[in-house]
Amino acid sequence: MDIHEYQAKELLSRFGVIVPQGSLAYSPEQAGYRARELGGDRWIVKAQVHAGGRGKAGGVRLCDSDQEIIAASESMFGRKLVTHQTGSEGKGIYRVYVEAAVPFEREIYLGFVLDRSSQRVMIVASSEGGMEIEEISAKKPDSIVRSTVEPAVGFREFQAREIAFALDIPAALTQQMVRTLQGCYRAFRDLDATMVEINPLVITSDNRILALDAKMTFDDNALFRHPQIAELRDKSQEDPRESRAADRGLNYIGLVGNIGCIVNGAGLAMATMDTIKLAGGEPANFLDIGGGATPERVAKAFRLVLSDGNVRAVLVNIFAGINRCDWVAEGVVKALTANPVGVPVVVRLAGTNVEEGLRILENSGLPIIGATSLMDAAEQAVAAWKNDQARDPEEETS
């Protein structure tokens, strides 16, 4: 789960990370009022969306008066901010963050991520802040500093000092940098984050180390331990299909293809998508219905997949270990009886109670296409999609 910049800054400040003064606004007039509350003579207005690259897309504006702030906010509210991370559909702007402008001397990149290869928390830092880490890695790879945290002992002060020295932090500011690094790590650890990124972390003209921007991402599976974090979720920034799936306990990611997938198990779902590609098709989604594939759960999965208007065929691929094929078959029949889908449905079942599951499908009287293997299922789904496309010559190719 992602959160907004202002939320990340509020959380990090609780762990000792220094952030600029700022305030949230939900209208242009309120943004001007927030600036007057903050005081000063220069402010930054930032669109609050779950995406990087806001500055290049016009989502960050430097203003010298409250009238400029109102004008800048009016140009943001209600529009879609399109960056390299949002794709062409963009993200809606429904709130802005007004922050006092801070003069600074240096920009630094700082990130804490979960490195799955080493199964450790990794700290990535660079003296070249203000750019995306991918850009830094491509242009100035030698500037990147990496440090891995040993979980048995945690993040030690000597490691923080080593990072500060590697970044050429002035001696007078070393202890501030150590506190900032340790605060970020504690926030990462205590809140079950999967990423904490400050870009840029700046050294100000009055010798302070300040988080000028901040991002945090959290492990969805750990949110039950942190209800205060779960409340920060902003569904307006999410794909509505993915949001509906999460609310129903389904793991769904929308894609751009035409063949909907209903699968149990993340690994099998990935294999199903790969096989569809191998057969010449394009998957419309990743959907893992999990271990408890009850009839009701399968019916929910069908409704979710078919909410995507691009879907022209559905492939159901179930390997029943914990599940039962007869449950899945009942779910398919229930979903198709209650809401006829109008697109071909290919079903491949294997595992526990597979004979009973196949019998339920055969006796349903529904136009369900049976498959004997994953490759057979993918080929039949792709063939069904192509036949449907051939009947409608104006259908756009995917």
Which active-site residues does the annotation give?
A: 109, 197
The annotation status of 264 as a binding-site residue, yes or no, is yes
CA proximity to 398, closest of 226, 222, 258, 302: 258
Euclidean distance between CA atoms 46 and 24, whole angstroms: 10
Q: What region does 278 belong to: left with phi over 0, alpha with psi -120 to 50, or beta? A: alpha
Residue 66: strand pairing partners: none
Do 258 and 282 form a contact (C-beta atoms < 8 A)?
yes
The annotation status of 59 as a binding-site residue, yes or no, is no
Do 8 and 215 form a contact (C-beta atoms < 8 A)?
yes
The annotation status of 55 as a binding-site residue, yes or no, is yes
The annotation status of 323 as a binding-site residue, yes or no, is no
Under DSSP, is residue 10 helix (H, G, I), strand (E, B) or coil? helix
The annotation status of 154 as a binding-site residue, yes or no, is no
Residue 8 CB neighbours (<10 A): 25
The annotation status of 53 as a binding-site residue, yes or no, is yes
Angle 235-240-241 from CA coordinates, rounded to 5°: 135
Instruction: Determine whether 297 is exposed, middle or buried from the number of CB atoms within 10 Å of its CB (0-12, 13-18, 19+).
Output: buried
The annotation status of 99 as a binding-site residue, yes or no, is yes
Do 88 and 82 form a contact (C-beta atoms < 8 A)?
yes
Under DSSP, is residue 356 helix (H, G, I), strand (E, B) or coil? helix
Q: Sign of dihedral through CA atoms 291, 292, 293, 296?
A: negative
The annotation status of 213 as a binding-site residue, yes or no, is yes
| Residue type present at position 186 | R
DSSP H or E stretch at residue 299: helix 295-306
CA proximity to 125, closest of 181, 187, 55: 181
Residue 195: strand pairing partners: 113, 217
The annotation status of 153 as a binding-site residue, yes or no, is no
DSSP code for 2: B
Euclidean distance between CA atoms 41 and 43, whole angstroms: 7
| Residue type present at position 69 | I
DSSP H or E stretch at residue 180: helix 174-190
Q: Position of tokens 């003296």?
A: 127
CA proximity to 352, closest of 321, 373, 327: 321
Q: Which residues are annotated as a binding site?
A: 46, 53-55, 99, 102, 107, 199, 213, 264
Q: Which residues are annotated as a binding site for substrate?
A: 264
Q: Which residues are annotated as a binding site for ATP?
A: 46, 53-55, 99, 102, 107
